[in-house]
Structure 1
Amino acid sequence: MNSRDTMPGVHFLLLLIEHGDAAAVRQRLGIGVPEQLTDEGAAWELDRLAAPRSVQLWMLERDDPGTNRLVFHRAHVGDAVKRDILRGLPFGAATGPLPVRVDCGQPYCSHAEPDIPVSRRGLIEGLREARTMGAARTAARAVSKPDWAAVAEADRAEPLPGFARWALGVRIDCPPEVRAQFGSHPKFTKRLRDAGIVEVREYVLLGRPPRDVLAVLRLGTRLFPHRVAEAAEVLAPLVRAELGANPDAWAVLAQLLPSFAGTVPELVVTSGAVARP
């Protein structure tokens, strides 16, 4: 992270307590007020972190053309998502097509819609015919946002093959209710987490290490504030109860954070316990 902002996780957690208390803790830790982020700067920092793939969707949910441009140019964004960005399809609550502004000015960067083949027998039959993981990934790429309802209905009528279900389920834009239809067993959800597909609450409670989780959330205050608000609702009661305005507890947290291997809640609880007399 930026040398002037070496404690992004602490900065994020300090947002969850009273402003005056946070100022006193910053003074005790000697970290000052964090610098303001830009979308471009935050996206650049995000690329350096072990962030889950779902952050791409959280960014797109803003339905902001500038944010869509940032996602379009991120590494490992699938062709299906790029196609829907170029078509102006909203990923959040917007009801109409979005302005499309993805040109980055780089001469060797393509801004053309990806060529995504569709089975000659149609989208659904292409998914049903998938008998290998490679074939399933190819068939799943053809699914666009308007197609998810038809995919869900087809799966309810007759379950899609396992390869197709998995290829669809790990799409960042697969609707949560459709993904849940594909599987809800703990082993399935763990595989999804391992593939970088998480809900915000799950990420906050189970993500590791806290250094990365909190750094991602700090950047999210700029890139996906609506999702960070969900994270704050989960963490704020615990942070206020365990750390509150106690500068000693915050000092312990700052010392533990770089190498702590547990979860964010475990870090907060441990820091509070160590600092208690």
Structure 2
Amino acid sequence: MRDNSTSGAAVGFLLGLIDHEDADRIRRRIGLPEPEGPATLEPRQNAPLWSWTRTAVPASVLLWVLEQDDPERNQWVWRHKSADNAMRRAIARGVPFGPGREALLTVVDGLGPELEPPVPTSYTRFGLVGALREGTSMQAARTAASMVLERSDWHAVTEADRDRPLPGYARWALSVRPDCPPALRAHFGTHRKFTRRVEQAGVLDGPADYATAWGPASHVLKVLSTGQLMFPARAAEAEDALRPLVRDHLGDREDAWAVLAQLIDTFHGNAAELVVTAGAIA
């Protein structure tokens, strides 16, 4: 196979879903280098993670990393091209994302309040809910929504909308936040078109959804190859979703893996389609 950082990591991730001895044999057969040693969060000379920060991902992927409530992981989210002002503001303030956690996090040196995105003028003038109500464009609403950080903020927004519905721009800007409480998002809209637009904005049901429904496969699998390092609490969901497909359609067949290695660089479908296609061709 034509090894590069993307396809090599992608095929390596799938090989990790089968028996180790079979994986080693297949790796030699298709010319894939031996896997590197244990990954680390150390910034210096960490080519895989620097590459990860330049790979566009759905917003939910970054939320899974933030849910680890780990300052070292958070610094990689800060550097990620897909991170928005709300995420960077939360990181700078040490806001926790993990279920049940209330205490503020330690912030890595250099990512503190001095680097927080500017506080919107509308927030200074009108407060949180007032700024959301004043948003007369999508940009203004997104800017105001970037100030919704802690659980108490989401509670305040929920109560305000129940008292008097927020404008459409504000509702949409909040809905496409990956950390928007599911009950609030459902309150904003449940029809199929709304749900589809939320998904297109990068809000996913979970890692299994990302693993089986998003593409191109090589990029998705490359991101998942960092899962045990970046979002270990959720990585198994993606692995469990793909493992049966890999075993049923590829298994220990060298020919099927060779076809997959040839397809992966140019395949535009999702990972599930890639695995099934390679198995069928072989």
Give the residue type in structure 2 aligned to 1:38: T
Q: How far apart are the structure 1 equivalents of 2:201 and 2:5?
A: 33
**Aligned-partner SS, 1:197:** coil
Q: 1:88 to 1:228 in 2, by over 3 A?
A: same
Identity of aligned residues (%): 48
Instruction: Give the number of equivalent residue pairs.
Output: 271
Equivalent residue, structure 1, for 2:149: 144
Equivalent residue, structure 1, for 2:269: 262
1:244 to 247, 251, 255: 251
Q: How far apart are the structure 2 equivalents of 1:116 and 1:195?
A: 24
Which range is displaced more, 110-119 or 125-134?
A: 110-119
Give the residue type in structure 2 aligned to 1:22: A
Give the residue type in structure 1 aligned to 2:77: V
**Aligned-partner SS, 1:122:** helix
Per-residue CA deviations over 1:124-181 (Å, capped at 9, x if unaligned) read 2332333322331232122122311222233344432210011112224323343333
Equivalent residue, structure 2, for 1:18: 19
Q: How far apart are the structure 1 equivalents of 2:166 and 2:68?
A: 31
* C-alpha contact 2:217 2:270 (8 A) present in aligned 1: yes
Q: How far apart are the structure 2 equivalents of 1:237 and 1:112?
A: 45
Shift of 1:66: 0.8
* C-alpha contact 2:56 2:82 (8 A) present in aligned 1: no
> Given the alignment of the two structures, is residue 130 of structure 1 paired with residue 135 of structure 2, yes or no?
yes
> Given the alignment of the two structures, is residue 64 of structure 1 paired with residue 70 of structure 2, yes or no?
yes
Give the residue type in structure 1 aligned to 2:130: E
Which range is displaced more, 12-21 or 125-134?
A: 125-134
* C-alpha contact 1:69 1:102 (8 A) present in aligned 2: no
Give the residue type in structure 2 aligned to 1:133: M
Give the residue type in structure 1 aligned to 2:222: A
Q: How far apart are the structure 2 equivalents of 1:176 and 1:247?
A: 43
Q: How far apart are the structure 1 equivalents of 2:77 and 2:56?
A: 16
Q: 1:121 to 1:218 in 2, by over 3 A?
A: same
Shift of 1:76: 5.1
Q: 1:137 to 1:219 in 2, by over 3 A?
A: same
What residue ranges of structure 1 are gaps of 5+ in the alignment?
Answer: none
Which range is displaced more, 225-234 or 2-11?
A: 2-11
2:217 to 188, 198, 210: 210
Shift of 1:229: 1.1
Q: 1:273 to 1:2 in 2, by over 3 A?
A: closer
* C-alpha contact 2:211 2:271 (8 A) present in aligned 1: yes
Q: How far apart are the structure 1 equivalents of 2:76 and 2:13?
A: 23
Give the residue type in structure 1 aligned to 2:200: D
**Aligned-partner SS, 2:28:** helix
Q: How far apart are the structure 2 equivalents of 1:19 and 1:177?
A: 42
Alignment of 1:64-143 (within 5 A): 64-75=70-81, 77-93=83-99, 94-103=101-110, 111-117=114-120, 118=123, 120-143=125-148
> Given the alignment of the two structures, is residue 34 of structure 1 paired with residue 35 of structure 2, yes or no?
yes
Shift of 1:210: 0.5
> Given the alignment of the two structures, is residue 162 of structure 1 paired with residue 162 of structure 2, yes or no?
no
Q: What TM-score, normalized by structure 2, do the two folds share?
A: 0.85
Q: 1:123 to 1:111 in 2, by over 3 A?
A: closer
Give the residue type in structure 1 aligned to 2:8: M
> Given the alignment of the two structures, is residue 175 of structure 1 paired with residue 175 of structure 2, yes or no?
no
Q: How far apart are the structure 1 equivalents of 2:103 and 2:3?
A: 38
**Aligned-partner SS, 1:63:** coil
Q: 1:79 to 1:251 in 2, by over 3 A?
A: same
